Every structure is written in structure tokens, then in C-alpha cells.
Amino acid sequence: MSLPTTAASSVHSLPEVAEKSLAILVSEETKGSLDVPQTTSATTTKRGIRFWLIFLAICVSLFLSALELTAVSTALPTIIHDLSGEDFVWVSSAYSLASTALLPASGGMAQIFGRRTAMLTSLGTFALGSALCGSAQNMNWLIAARTVQGAGGGGILSISSIIISDLVPLKERAVYNGMIGMTWAVACALGPLIGGAFAEHNQWRWLFYLNLPVSGVAALLVVLFLKLRTPEGSLLEKLARMDWVGNILIISSSSAVVISLTWGGVRYAWTSVNVLAPLIIGFFGMISFVFYEAKVAKEPLVPFAVLSNRTSLSGYIQTFLCPVISVASVFFLPTYFQACTGASPIRSGIDCLPYAFVMGGSLVLTGATIAVSKVYRVQLWFGWVCFIIAMGALSTVGADTPISQAVGIPVLLGLAGGIVYSSTYFPVLAPLPVSQNAHALALFAFFRSFAGVWGVTIGTAVLQTQLSHRLPEDFVQHFPGGVAIAYSAIPLIPTLDEPLRSQVRVAFADSIRVIWLVLIGVGALGLLSSLFMKGLPLHTQIDESWGIDGEKQGKVELKLALPTHTRRS
């Protein structure tokens, strides 16, 4: 989830504008990012009705992604049981695979075809995938449909961030990040309830069908109001500008890695050729992609400049590590409540509400602190410390932990997730010229989505391994498919006789505890990576190439031209 932001700019005196613009352009970080002369404009803009309707379209679109994340994980045990499936992890991984593989391409598509075309394509793909998910008759069908849905969902996240960056300078974006944080808070609060309610009444298909009218409303708003400037040229000319080699490299290599991670420890042993071969090929492909983009591509999907300074690099690393923890938590907290406390799907959704509400509030408050203080490092350091403490506290939760404690501890996790999610955006963009926004944000969304795959995969690998050692033989022998089938049998745990029921509950609780212990290490890596970023001023300008078409915006402007810098920091 990327979190853009904006508020009405204050009018600066010309000396102040000159000083701040010059500071941004000649900072050590920016020197490593500029390869051509740059021009900056400090602007003060009044937000008209069209801007707010565009922002509404973005919020509605992002609402879909957030709802999907929390609702499906809550209903998943029921869905798997209903379809008699085994590879439950693919229901989530297929979505993440498609969104991850296509995310870098979304930035290039937005740059070449324009923002509105890219957003409508993403919304249409997401709606098609949702319809196919709702009509799924077996697991293979559902997994294929989730792939289509993920391709659209990833594009929605990426293009939304790009559009906001076109309209709002980085210095003001924290306020709008807070507003989008509220959208995510509402969606995350409603998602578990909606998913649980549909699952409990065996109507989980409507969980996907509900996306259709919401997608329609978002698309209508985009058609009517998202009239940003679009690039000129014919369709063939635009297709010729696409970085097809780069797209093939990143899509194939990231797909290979995701497939390997999904199979590892579940379908095949981690040391088997079926896991190691795609993993090695995938990583080699990613290295080839980076080399190709840096040295060969004429219009690269990922210009090397976005990774050529330590602050952006630190921001991207943090952007990757945060969802590993957050997505794993969203995925396995409902598993804990349903398997260990006997909660129904809807009850597990209610138990996750405090976590969702606190995360939403944390997103808003963090955005406000960045908007007022114009700094981001303190928030990130505090957020990573909270992550480590939260995962440590969760590792103390067992099968017989009082429900008040089991529900209350994730509140700290929500606080940490909101802080880090809303802050990593700023170290990524602060060192870069605004002309790099589309590519930088597409890569930002790629890291965030790819991390979600790792979060689910790490958690699943740990859970499968631990359950294979901890589940009673009397329970596992009823499921020829092994531990994967045992996961789909979670809804049946309350019907087991004692002492088998208690033994299974303890096995799940102890296995999930190991997931939280592993994530403590991920949080420590996040804190370590945050120490390398610099505290840079936030841009006060936007890329004038992309704006509301035909709408004049009042502004105070000062342009400063500087010579080309080629030195890398």
C-alpha cells in the first residue's frame, strides 16, 4: 500500500523558495540522481473540485485492495474447505505473484500511455479477476482467477501513487497519506467482518462479486474526472517505446522466485531441484534485469538513478521488510484465532478489529507528524522499535492465553505497521528529482508487493514445518494430503473430541509462535537498514509534465537551472 499526500501549499517568499529549491538540487543525495539539467518549481496550488473528485476515485480504488487483503485471509480456511483444495498458499501467492511481476511495467505504462489509460486498465483487470474468483468451481480455477485479479490490484496501487505524486509536492503529501490511511483503516476494519460473515454463511463468493460495483464506481470517477495530460503519439509508437526486454526479464524472474518460495517446504523439500532451480534462475534473472536497465535500456522501467543513493536504497529496503511482517501478521492472526481459540470466521474478524483500527489511526497520525515536522527518520526509527517489541510480545501468546491479551497485543503491531508503512515513502522520494516519480513509485510498489509474497511464504514454510512435527498423528492420518489439508480442516477443530482438540490447538499455537520469533529478526533488519538514510528536505514542486489537463493552477514560481551532475554518491 503506498501512501501519497497533499495539503494546500503556503506561499513562500522568493528568497525562501530559492534557498529550499537550491538545497534540494545540490544536496549530496540528489547529485547522485541527476544525469541531466533539472528545473524546479515551488508552487502554491488551490485544490479545486476536480482535484478532490480525482482523489475520491483514488481512494475508492485503493479501498478495493485493502478490503481484498484482509477479507480473503479471514475467509480462506472456509474457501479451501469448500473447494476441497490443498495448495491454500497459492490463493494468496497467485495474487501477489501477478501484482509483483507486473508492477515495474505499470510505471512504464503510465509514463507512455498516460495515467488514466493505465488506471482504467488496472481497474478492468481487477474486476475481471474478481468475477472469475466468484465463479470458481475448483482450486485451479480460483488460483488462475486470483492471478488475473492480482495483475489489476497491483496496477491500482502503483498508478494511484503516481497520480498523487503528479498533483501534490512531496512536502505536502503527508496530509494526503493520512487521508488514504483512513481509507485503509475503514477497509481493514470492514474486511475481516465482511470476509468472516460471508464465510460463516457459506457465501464467500460474494466476497469477490462485491468488487464489481465498487470497481465500476471507481472507473466511472476516473473516466469523468481523471483528465490529466497524456503523452502524444500513436498506439504503435507508444508500444515501441515500452521496455519489452526489461518487462520479460522482471516478470519471468520474479515469477520463478515466487513459484520457488511457494513450493518450498510445502510441495517439495527446500533442497530439491524443483525449488532450487527456479530460485537460482529467478535471482540470476533479477540481476540481469538490473544490469540491463542500467546499461542497455533506452527507456528503462527502473532508471538506475533511483537506486544510486543510500537514502533511497535504505527506503526501498525498509519498504520491502515492513510488509514481510505486516502481511504475515494479517494472514496468520486469523489463523491463530480460528485454530486456537475456536473463533468462527466472523469472530476472528472482530478479534482483528483493534489491530486494524490502530493501524489506520497510526497511518493518519504519522502523516500528520511528517506534515508538521517535515522529518521522517524519527518516525521510522520509533516504528521499527515498536515492530520488534510487538513481535516479541506476540511470541508469548499460546493456546490458552486469555482472549483479551491475544486481541490486545496486536494493537502494538498495528501501531508499528502504520508508522513504518506511511513513512518509507519519504526516504525513497526525497533524494530523487520529481521527473523520476513514476518509475520510483512503480519500483516502490514492486518491493512492497514482492515483500508480501515473502511474508506469506516465510510464515507458511514455518507453519508447515512446525505442524508436521507438532500435530498429533491421530489428526494428520485423517488427511492424506498431509499438513496442507490439515490447514483446510481448521473449521473442523471445534468438533474434535478431547484430548485431541486441545492437542491440535496447542500444536497450531506453538507453530504460529515460531513465525512471530522469525519476524523479530526481520524487524531488527529493518531497524538496522533505517540507520543509513539521511534526513533530507521534502520537495516543494511537482512534475509540470503531468497535471490536470486544461486546469490552470495559481502558483508562485522560481526556476533554477543547474549543470549536469554525473557523480554517484
- Check which CATH number belongs to the domain holding 325 and give it: 1.20.1250.20
Task: Tell me the pLDDT of the chain averaged across its residues.
Answer: 75
Residues 330 and 423 occupy one common structural domain: yes
Residue 544: inside a domain, yes or no? no
d(CA 468, CA 483): 6
- The answer to whether 335 touches 493, Cβ cutoff 8 Å, is no
Same domain, 268 and 316: no
Residue (of 10, 2, 9, 40) closest to 22 by Cα position: 40
Question: Does one domain contain both 328 and 424?
Answer: yes
Residue type, 430: A
pLDDT bin (cut points 50, 70, 90) of residue 184 is: confident
Compute the distance between CA of residue 384 and CA of residue 22 in angstroms, rounded to an integer. 32
Amino acid code (one letter) for 316: Y
Of the residues 298, 330, 364, which one is the last residue of a structural domain?
298
Question: 321 and 463: one domain?
Answer: yes
Residue that is written with C-alpha cell 502494538 in the block = 412
Same domain, 163 and 213: yes
Q: In this structure, is residue 388 part of a structural domain?
A: yes
Nine-digit cell at 496?
A: 474434535
The cell for 150 is 492480482
The three three-digit cell numbers of residue 436, written as one number: 523520476
- One-letter amino acid for residue 503 of the chain: Q
Specify if 550 maps to a domain: no
User: Is the domain of 167 the same as that of 215?
Assistant: yes
Strand positions, DSSP E, 271-411: none
Are 436 and 350 in a shared domain?
A: yes
> Roughly what angle, to the nearest 10 degrees, separates helices 89-113 and 437-470?
170
> Mind listing the pLDDT tens digit for each residue in 502-522?
888 888 899 899 999 999 999
Output the pLDDT for position 411.
92
CB-CB contact of 246 with 294 (8 Å): no
Q: How far apart are CA 107 and CA 158, in angstroms?
A: 7
pLDDT tens-place string over residues 403-439: 888 899 999 999 999 899 888 888 988 888 776 776 7
Could you tell me the residue range of the domain that residue 496 belongs to?
14-35+47-242+299-530
Q: Using 50, 70 and 90 to split pLDDT, how confident is the model at 351? A: confident
**Total structural domains within the chain:** 2
Residues 474 and 406 in one domain: yes
- For residue range 192-231, what is the model confidence (pLDDT) as tens digits? 778 778 877 778 888 888 888 888 888 888 888 777 666 6
**pLDDT band, residue 389 (cuts 50/70/90):** very high
Answer yes or no: is 247 within a domain.
yes
Q: Is the model more confident about 87 or about 512? A: 512
Does one domain contain both 149 and 162? yes
**Cα separation of 349 and 436, whole Å?**
40
Statement: residue 277 has pLDDT above 80: yes
Looking at the fold, whether 419 and 381 belong to one and the same domain comes out as yes
Residue 546 lies in a domain: no
Q: Does residue 129 lie in a domain region? A: yes
226-249: per-residue pLDDT in tens? 776 666 656 666 666 666 787 788
Instruction: Report the distance separating Cα 538 and Cα 553, nearest Å.
Output: 21
Q: Which residue has the cell 494428520?
A: 476
Residue 543 lies in a domain: no
Query: Are residues 360 and 507 both part of a single domain?
Result: yes
- Expressed in percent and rounded to 5, the helix, strand and coil fractions of the chain are 75, 0, 25
> Which 3 state secondary structure label does DSSP give 228?
strand
- Supply the pTM of this predicted model: 0.70
Confidence of residue 496 (pLDDT cuts 50, 70, 90): confident
What pLDDT is attached to residue 242?
66
Taking residues 369-390, report their average pLDDT.
91
pLDDT, residue 436, reads: 72
Beta partners for residue 268, in sequence order: 264
Let me know if residue 542 belongs to a domain: no
Residue 11 has pLDDT above 70, yes or no: no
CA distance linking residue 471 with residue 539, whole number of Å? 55
Residue 459: name the closest of 169, 64, 93 by CA: 93
Is 270 in the same domain as 360?
A: no
